[in-house]
Amino acid sequence: MSLYTGSSNSSFSRNASFSSASSTRISTTSVDTASDVERMSECNFYRNLWWDKGEFSEKAKWEEVALPYVLATGVTIEEYEQRTEKFSIHGCWEWREEKLIIYEFPSAPHEVCIGAIVKEINKRCSNVDGTNAEIISFGATRTRDINRGKEADSSFRPDKPPVTPPNGSDRNDFPWPNLVVEVAYSETLDHVEEALCYWLSPGRAHDCIIVKIDPVPQGEVPVRMRAWHYCVSDRRTRSNIPARTTFEFGTQDGTGAPLNILQGQCIINISLDCLYFGAEPTIQNPRDLLPDPIPIDFFFVRHTFKVAFKIA
């Protein structure tokens, strides 16, 4: 999966057709009979509850929804930010051009995986805790550009000086993260690529780790997991960044064959120059405290996943 990284606004226009079926509040599904109309009316009522009250109802029949899905229109970015905060909804919604869009559903596989990756990153960076070179976890802190509001699943950076408004991640002077982590479960790879365009647009993040977990029916355990690492240092042209690293680390590969990995086999390396890019001038690159590069070993991410879901 290579990456287009032109304007993050123009990247959306290439994939905007999914929003064309939206109504005033809710994107709709085609219906053929009166019973279909009644059923969809009920589904839309329960789907609206997620936006109106923060209630994620099974009666909404979310399993019938194709993502990305326009949940509401005519929404200001302030309303989006207020409701995500009020309902503590992270890693599921984003805001684009006055539309509230669902790109991921809440799920245990998503949360377990992101938690395991964050644990590995924090562990590898722990030697600088308590120093001025400490790596700060900003989690799913909201960001925005001129017509989009988005959160990463997790994000990291050192202390950085304020940037010139409105180039900050808050459209003011707050610095962008240097390392972003995105985990996709129900989220599509097409949408993940759009997210990469957003994060790795000029002046934003420096490195991005992407994980795709192939979704399975309710009650089953995911078996296929893939990872990609992108770094802006690898930009070949203005419009293309190839993946620096990619591998599979689940219990089965894409053909269904069993997959066994060993410690040290599936690693994403983060250069200290990348992790500390744009840090405060008083911060020296801590090569005496941290390995360079920092190895993120997905053997341990896989182990946590297997323990959580009792995979032998």
pLDDT value at residue 24: 31
What's phi and psi for 204, nearest 5 deg? -110, -130
How deeply is 221 buried, as exposed, middle or buried, from its count of CB atoms within 10 A (0-12, 13-18, 19+)?
middle
Q: What's the pLDDT at 9?
A: 37
Nearest-5° angle of CA 88, CA 93, CA 97?
130
Full DSSP string of 232-295: GGG-SBTTBB--SEEEE-SSB-TTS-B----TTTSEEEE-HHHHTTT--TTPPP-TTTS-SSEE
d(CA 194, CA 233): 19
Q: What phi and psi, each to the nearest 5 degrees, are found at residue 280? A: -50, 140
Q: Per the structure block, which two tokens stand in for 177? A: 């993260």
What is the pLDDT at residue 12?
26
**Which pLDDT score, from 0 to 100, does residue 130 have?**
98
Residue 21, pLDDT score: 30
DSSP state of 186: S
305 neighbors 107 (Cβ within 8 angstroms): no
* Residue-level pLDDT at 65: 92
Retrieve residue 231's tokens.
């770094």
Side chain identity at 202, as an amino acid letter?
P
Give residue limits of the domains in the chain: 8-102, 108-308
Q: What is the pTM of this model?
A: 0.84
CATH numeric code, 108-308: 3.90.1570
Cβ contacts of 142 within 8 Å, gap of 6 or more? 81, 84, 149, 150, 151, 170
Provide long-range contacts, Cβ within 8 A and 24+ apart, for 21-24. 21/70, 22/70, 22/73, 22/99, 23/73, 24/73, 24/74
| Mean pLDDT per 10-residue segment, the chain (312 residues) | 38 28 36 55 92 93 93 95 92 94 95 98 98 97 92 98 97 98 96 94 97 95 98 84 97 96 98 98 98 98 97 85
Write out the H or E segment, with its range, that includes residue 196.
Answer: helix 189-199
**Residue 27 three-state SS:** strand
Cα–Cα distance for residue pair 64/116, rounded to 1 Å: 29
Who contacts 285 (Cβ-Cβ below 8 Å, separation ≥6)?
Answer: 133, 272, 273, 276, 292
Non-local (6+) Cβ contacts of 213 within 8 A are 109, 110, 113, 183, 184, 185, 222, 224, 225, 250
